[in-house]
Amino acid sequence: MANNKKHYIIDSLDKTKNVFKLAYLFATQLATNEAVEVIVRPAKAKRTLEQNSKMWAMLTDLSNQKQWVVNGVLQKITPTDWKDLLTASLHQEMRVAEGISGGIVLLGRRTSRMTVKEMSDLIELMHSFGAENGIKWSAREYDFIYWSEAA
């Protein structure tokens, strides 16, 4: 079977029965050919929209204020480039792929798949990096800090 994995999220009690029915039907299809593993656990909360907004405000501040060496040249880089640098630093890994036309491509990490905790760690890393490099955070970034502390 080509697609032999399903992932269900139950976000309200009224959906529980229907999701378990779907999982049961899928498991019985798989069980005819192989053993089936069923895992039930609390869902990890994905990063919030507020965290995402804060991250992009901070990445924009970095892009406007800090230069970085790329291909041997000190230059301003985009917020997306900063995101790739910082997410690689957070996980202390570099993902490298072979380019379609040769060469290499460095792959970034999707922050939309991060948990609230991972995103908090990324934002903390950004604050630390900013403090070490004299970054002045914008009013937009600070508005979020005060709002989240008040909540």
Q: How far apart are CA 26 and CA 20, in angstroms?
A: 10
Q: Which residue's structure tokens are 């036309």?
A: 101
Mean pLDDT value of segment 52-78: 95
Residues 119 and 47 sit within 8 Å (Cβ to Cβ): yes
Tell me the pLDDT of the chain averaged across its residues. 85
C-alpha 111 chain-centroid distance: 2
Structure tokens at 19: 């999701």
Q: Name the residue ranges covered by the structural domains of the chain.
A: 1-43, 49-150
pLDDT at 1 over 70: no
Residues 56 and 127 sit within 8 Å (Cβ to Cβ): no
Mean pLDDT value of segment 65-82: 95
Mean pLDDT value of segment 69-81: 95
Full-model pTM? 0.65
Q: How far is CA 110 from CA 67, 68, 80, 130, 143, in A?
A: 23, 21, 11, 21, 25
Residues 130 and 137 sit within 8 Å (Cβ to Cβ): yes
Q: At what angle do helices 49-65 and 139-150 cross, to 10 degrees?
A: 150
Q: How far apart are CA 125 and CA 82, in angstroms?
A: 12
Q: Which CATH number fits domain 49-150: 1.10.3790.10, 3.40.50.450, 3.40.309.10, 1.10.10.10?
A: 1.10.3790.10
DSSP 18-33: HHHHHHHHHHHHHHTT
pLDDT at 62 over 50: yes
Q: What is the pLDDT of residue 140?
A: 61
Express each pLDDT in 32-61 by its tens digit: 878 888 888 877 788 888 899 999 999 999
